[in-house]
Each structure stands twice: as C-alpha cells, then as structure tokens.
Amino acid sequence: MDLTLKVWRQKNKEDKGGIETYPIKGISEHASFLEMLDVLNEQLISEGKEPVAFDHDCREGICGTCSLYINGEAHGPDRKVTTCQLHMRMFKDGETVYIEPWRSKSMPVIKDLIVDRTAFERIQQAGGFISVNTSGNTQDANALPIAKPMADKAMDAATCIGCGACVATCKNSSAMLFVAAKVSQYSYLPQGQIERKERVLNMVEQMDKEGFGNCTNTGACEVECPKGISLEFIARMNKEYLGASIVSE
C-alpha cells in the first residue's frame, strides 16, 4: 500500500517543530506500524535525511514505550493495542496518516515523536511502591491468602504499562487513569495497606505538581488505553483520596 505520512519533526526541546510530509510506497498490510516507520527511516537515510526519532522497545505491547498519536487517536485507530501492535491493515491504500507525539505540558517533546515521560516516574516515586524488607527473610507470596476477586482487580489495575495514552487522549491532558491504576493495584492487596493513605495523598500531590489537567469523566482514556484500564479505578482513587484526606492529620 502507498501512503502519505504527515510526521511531526522537531530537532530538540527548544525547537518549534512542524509537520513534514513524506510519501511512502509498497508497505505490506501485514507490517506493523513501527515496521512501516522503520521503512520510512531507511528511505530517509538513503536520501541523506535525518531519520524520524520515535520511542520503541519490546514491540510486543508490554513495555509501554511506544507512544504515537496516529490520525487523531492515541496508539492509532485500533482498540486495546499499543502502537507496536497496530497493523497497517487498519489503514487504506492511498490514505494520509498523521503521526504526532503525545501532547501535554507535563510531557514535553524531546525530539520528533519522543516525549519526556519522567513525570510518570516521579509520580511512582512519590508512592507507587510497598516497603518490604528484602534482606533474605522475604515471606513467600502464597503464604498470604488473598480473595480471588481482590487479586483480579489488583491485576487489572497492574496491567497499566504507563505509556501515557490516557494523558495524550484526554482533552484535559489528565493523568488520573494512570495514577488511579497505580494507587488501586496496591490498595486491593494486604501488602499495600500500611502505606495506603500516604500513597494516594502523595501520588495525587505529585500528579498536581507535574501540571496535568483535571479529569472530567469523558471516558476517552478508558477507550484509548491499550490495556483497557477501567474508569472504575479513577472512582476508587477519588474515594481513597477523600477517605485519606478526612483521616489525615
């Protein structure tokens, strides 16, 4: 298939950047989107031009590294897939395809299609962990019974790969789906109870410091999330935050 690509090019963080147009021919419909970009980059290199910088790592939908806004949607037009799992059969021959980086004040573009997502890491560092002594006396996980529904919910929340599609797609650039998933995955489990209140207070505080927008419950994040993280977790985070705020000193 032949396509016209409209790709965001930006030299560095300070550069203004802009959309560049690249025609590309002979792409297999079985190719992944990132493989198509690989072909584009080979084409650009052969023409003596600088290849397009984009994030990628595992290319099997579990690392959360790839992050492209394709034709007006985070991770493209398919559902519950990351960009690396998106296939060219989702596009039509002759189609114009816009490829842009995530847009958020809190995730500035570093180069071309790569954004700085360290805001997520700082939110995690603020409370997305449990403190366990790992000096050799670690308890066997199976020694602590956990009800199956609770374990399932925790696992559902823990499937968040932190790709940032929720922020990218939210009209308010809100990170609440990500933070809610990270808060919830521990709050369902007994291991997460000790730091439960501090966790939600600290993670929300850090999220606000990073400058993300506020959630207005449009549900766009849930639709575009490659792991299908539910809005239910945002409600849970709101409840956790309200509870922690009332009892905190």
Which stretches of the chain bind other proteins, using CB under 8 A? 6, 8, 19, 69, 71-73, 77, 98, 100, 103-106, 169, 171-174, 176, 201, 204-205, 207-208, 211-220, 223-224, 231-232, 234-242, 244-246, 248
Q: How far is the CB of 132 from other proteins (least distance, A)?
A: 26
Q: How far is the CB of 217 from other proteins (least distance, A)?
A: 4
Q: How far is the CB of 231 from other proteins (least distance, A)?
A: 7
Mapped onto helix, strand or coil, the DSSP state of residue 147 is coil
User: Nearer to other proteins by C-beta: 50 or 205?
Assistant: 205
Helices (H), ranges, the chain:
33-46, 118-127, 148-158, 165-169, 176-187, 196-209, 220-224, 232-247
State the Cα–Cα distance between residues 27 and 226, nearest whole angstrom.
24
User: Nearer to other proteins by C-beta: 193 or 216?
Assistant: 216
Q: How far is the CB of 81 from other proteins (least distance, A)?
A: 14
Partners of 20 in the β-ladder:
7
Q: What DSSP assignment string belongs to 225-246?
A: -TT---THHHHHHHHHHHHHHH
Nearest to 98 by CA among 185, 9, 180, 13: 9
User: Nearer to other proteins by C-beta: 66 or 201?
Assistant: 201
User: Structure tokens of 224?
Assistant: 């575009």
User: Structure tokens of 108?
Assistant: 């500035």
State the Cα–Cα distance between residues 54 and 37, nearest whole angstrom.
9
User: Nearer to other proteins by C-beta: 9 or 59?
Assistant: 9
Q: How far is the CB of 160 from other proteins (least distance, A)?
A: 17
For tokens 């730091």, the residue is 195
Helices (H), ranges, 131-191:
148-158, 165-169, 176-187
Q: How far is the CB of 228 from other proteins (least distance, A)?
A: 13
User: Nearer to other proteins by C-beta: 11 or 139?
Assistant: 11
User: Nearer to other proteins by C-beta: 146 or 223?
Assistant: 223
